[in-house]
Structure 1
């Protein structure tokens, strides 16, 4: 892509972000219904500017509180998923210290969890319970980190347990746990191969700024989003069992999506 294309994207994203931040801040302060809608609209614009095409299979949770268990490939996942429907996220505490990213995360009502401090569990559980009681859909990247997009890391049941323990007798009875697979299948119309992984996946010790520049400079991306079968979920649920079920579904869907993406 030419430098003109790179700066053209910047020219759109900067003002949209500059308008979106104070607007969302105000909506949160007023507790207005639009606080759920603005992040979705914002990320739809971001996906459009970046040339991200979303290919959706399966049905998302509708009309009920949901804990969504997803694999995690890149910071792009936030944009891709947020563009689908009103969502919040559960993120590790260190995300709340990152410049700019932490602001955007807080504006999307992200729940931060500090896995190194047991004393933080009660606060996290309370925040998750409040969201579920309000009927929100919350995304938990159950691997606990980002992967390379070609394989799914083991799901961490402890993170699922933190949400399960938040469910009390006062919590909604129709909470569901829904697996979700994210697979980046094509770039510039060509299948994503192993050599393309660093251009999309953001994992390990990769720095954010160079990776962001690479995404802005590159061509369009096709991402397949596959909703798995919902799993009943309440305070008595075996966290290890449901984590395994969700992990198996996500792994299968990622494998199938990669195979599809390589067919031209």
Structure 2
């Protein structure tokens, strides 16, 4: 079955490159509603072909403007979240060059950040604030990198300042929603994953992309659960480091509850 899924995955990618990419670029340029429909359709299609079974649960999303803050386990996290709606991702600049997600990220107008250049943070935060004011959700991986799936790394507070910048630029807005979310890959081929299994399916460190895609295809079906926690309100008097710490605490609790289930 892995070979069959691979064939259809390649077919779908070819169709996306030939048809989906130019149509999506045109739709975004013209402001068509179609621009919000193509990415989740593409993401859901690829998730199905990869053998990912996705379940969203937990709290309702808070009001916009909204920033969803999640832990990060694998490159496939992007497709999982994109299958729900069309958030604007904040991603490291290297993602733009990836063969699969790079094209998807570029046509989604992803905000790319140069991780090795702190001077780039104000530009990124300003872009995040503008996207949220345009009605788009921002998806921020709070750890700034992917983990081995066994825990949540410390959150970096720098990009939480985007909420503060938004409130300063738009005084009529009283708060920005910070929505904690935890993602976990919980089972493969109908069996619950143990610590070793979760680490095997995680994509982190210097792992190569192509072998991991093949591993995911061979492990299907893989169940992926996203649990949304209670939203926080980032107000004018809020302190970004405190909000980052509280969001990290809530995401860690959600992730631990998923792994203990």
Whether these two folds match at TM > 0.5 is yes
Alignment correspondent of 2:177? 176
TM alignment of 1:141-160, pairs within 5 A: 141-160=141-160
Q: Distance in 2 between matches of 1:24 and 1:137?
A: 18
TM alignment of 1:1-264, pairs within 5 A: 1=1, 3-61=3-61, 64-170=64-170, 172-260=173-261
Q: How many residues align?
A: 260
Deviations 1:102-160 (A, max 9, x none): 22211112111224334323322221121111121111000011001121111111232
Aligned residue for 1:236, secondary structure, equals coil
**Residues 2 and 209 of structure 1: CA distance in aligned 2, closer, same or farther (over 3 Å):** closer
TM-score by length of 1: 0.89
Alpha-carbon shift at residue 61 of structure 1 (Å): 2.4
2:155–2:244 contact (8 Å) kept in structure 1: yes
- Which contiguous aligned blocks of 4+ residues in structure 1 show a shift greater than 4 angstroms? none
Alpha-carbon shift at residue 32 of structure 1 (Å): 1.7
Q: Distance in 2 between matches of 1:72 and 1:229?
A: 19
1:165–1:235 contact (8 Å) kept in structure 2: no
2:9–2:46 contact (8 Å) kept in structure 1: no
Which structure 2 segments of 5+ residues have no match? Answer: none
**Residues 231 and 203 of structure 1: CA distance in aligned 2, closer, same or farther (over 3 Å):** same
Which structure 1 segments of 5+ residues have no match? Answer: none
TM-score by length of 2: 0.90
